[in-house]
């Protein structure tokens, strides 16, 4: 098949060449991401095909968001299967037309109870929730004041909103207070933060943020995707951990991490704010409803974690143990208390080389580098799961130490690693 117009042919060729060059630049800069193909359900142990065409290898997985180990739990799978049988495969509708089933409402009520809020609505993903919530609630007379390290989904959502945008230095409450003072002339103020920051694993100082917000008459918005289900003594999230249950105006979170790992997200919070999202949030109005199978699986997850804290307790123990192993071995870690444990390597190529060598040692991790993290902040982000047993972590630290010695990074800090490998 050919093109009739030489002008069109030339234009397409120019487009192709442009993007081929861009992709080549990424490869040369060491910034090209490759996917590996997994041949098993998600779990503490998986089989991975890499490179493409190679026989799948059995690996310990240290980089999933499967924090509670429920992504392939037989009861969750069985419940999802029952959901398919009882409520069908898809609704072929947005929520407000004919896309709301009784199980959607039931899941929203149960998420409201878990998060300690007044109401909840489901979205196809937390990315969609964050894309829609700011525009639905705020306008030109208002201001959004976000932590500088908020997740990309909030950055994108803020860009869609006409409210004034401002930012504060990461977790710097003095800087936040300056911004709140500066914006007292606005109609509404909203402070925006992650609960647990996805790249560093640190927690927002929600108790102090809430205190400031109350003093300066601001709403508080938290994306708690890396916390719902396991942070806090009963797994309600960062707000429980920080003693401010019931004082967060808007929480968004995902069903795609600890709460089953399939897909779906939600906006939860003050009744009026949630209702405004139901009426106005574009992803809610224009995107398909969450599939019944996902809802059924998520309902079972909430059942499983509602009656016992066993899984979140085990996750906490695994996190403490893994941090101790890495610290004693001499790795440079970001401090924190969440099950996100970044091993800092600073150099993008080094991060990829270490990840590749760990793969050969039977450990599945991925190097994180620009643009996912700032330049010069490359890392391997390890993540714990309640599905990990001590023997998994024991085997993993052996591999980490072997590779760490090969690259001479044990007992070294940023300055020494950057001196040797560059930034």
The residue ranges that bind other proteins (CB under 8 A) are 146, 148, 155, 164-167, 169-170, 172, 374-376
The CA R_g of the chain, rounded to the nearest whole Å, is 23
CA angle, 23 as apex, 20 and 24 as ends, to 5°? 85
Shorter beta-carbon distance to other proteins: residue 21 or 169: 169
Does 383 sit behind a cis peptide bond, omega within 30 degrees of 0 on the bond before it?
A: no
Dihedral sign, Cα of residue 196, residue 197, residue 200, residue 205? negative
In the complex, least distance from residue 373 CB atom to other proteins, rounded to whole angstroms: 10
Shorter beta-carbon distance to other proteins: residue 33 or 148: 148
In the complex, least distance from residue 132 CB atom to other proteins, rounded to whole angstroms: 19
In the complex, least distance from residue 172 CB atom to other proteins, rounded to whole angstroms: 7
Shorter beta-carbon distance to other proteins: residue 178 or 272: 178
Shorter beta-carbon distance to other proteins: residue 142 or 166: 166
Residue 373's closest CA among 333, 349, 346? 346
- Distance of CA 345 to CAs 185, 332, 379, Å? 44, 8, 5
In the complex, least distance from residue 377 CB atom to other proteins, rounded to whole angstroms: 9
In the complex, least distance from residue 175 CB atom to other proteins, rounded to whole angstroms: 8
Count CB-CB contacts under 10 A for residue 81.
13
Residue 141's closest CA among 166, 163, 165, 167? 163
Shorter beta-carbon distance to other proteins: residue 183 or 236: 183
* Catalytic residue ranges: 198, 226, 257
């Amino acid at each position: 098949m050919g093109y009739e117009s030489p002008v069109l042919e030339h234009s397409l060729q120019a487009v192709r060449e442009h993007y081929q060059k861009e992709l080549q630049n990424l490869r040369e800069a060491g910034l090209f991401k490759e996917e590996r193909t997994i041949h098993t359900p998600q779990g503490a142990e998986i089989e991975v095909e890499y490179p493409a065409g190679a026989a799948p290898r059995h690996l310990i997985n240290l980089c999933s968001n499967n924090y509670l180990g429920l992504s392939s739990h037989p009861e969750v799978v069985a419940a999802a299967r029952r959901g398919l049988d009882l409520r069908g495969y898809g609704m072929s509708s947005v929520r407000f037309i004919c896309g709301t089933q009784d199980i959607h409402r039931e899941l929203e009520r149960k998420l409201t109870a878990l998060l300690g809020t007044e109401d909840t609505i489901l979205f196809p993903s937390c990315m969609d929730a964050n894309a829609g919530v700011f525009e639905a609630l705020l306008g030109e007379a208002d201001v959004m004041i976000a932590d500088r390290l908020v997740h990309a989904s909030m950055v994108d959502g803020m860009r869609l909103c006409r409210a004034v945008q401002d930012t504060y230095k990461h977790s710097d409450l003095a800087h936040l207070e300056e911004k709140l003072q500066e914006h007292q002339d606005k109609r509404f103020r909203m402070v925006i933060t992650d609960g647990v920051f996805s790249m560093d694993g640190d927690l927002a100082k929600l108790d102090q943020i809430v205190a400031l917000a109350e003093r300066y008459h601001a709403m508080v918005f938290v994306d708690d995707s890396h916390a719902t289900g396991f942070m806090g003594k009963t797994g309600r999230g960062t707000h429980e951990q920080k003693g401010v249950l019931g004082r967060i105006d808007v929480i968004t979170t995902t069903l795609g991490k600890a709460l089953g790992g399939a897909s779906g997200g939600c906006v939860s919070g003050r009744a009026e704010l949630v209702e405004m999202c139901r009426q106005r949030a574009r992803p809610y109005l224009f995107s398909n409803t969450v599939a019944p199978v996902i809802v059924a699986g998520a309902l079972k997850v909430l059942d499983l974690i509602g009656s016992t804290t066993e899984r979140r307790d085990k996750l906490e123990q695994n996190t403490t143990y893994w941090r101790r192993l890495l610290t004693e071995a001499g790795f440079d870690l970001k401090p924190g208390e969440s099950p996100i444990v970044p091993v800092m390597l600073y150099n993008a190529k080094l991060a990829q080389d270490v990840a590749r060598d760990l793969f050969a040692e039977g450990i599945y991790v991925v190097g994180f580098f620009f643009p996912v993290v700032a330049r010069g902040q490359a890392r391997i982000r390890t993540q714990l799961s309640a599905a990990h047993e001590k023997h998994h972590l024991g085997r993993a630290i052996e591999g980490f130490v072997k590779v760490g010695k090969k690259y001479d990074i044990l007992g070294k800090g940023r300055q020494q690693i950057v001196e040797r490998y560059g930034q």
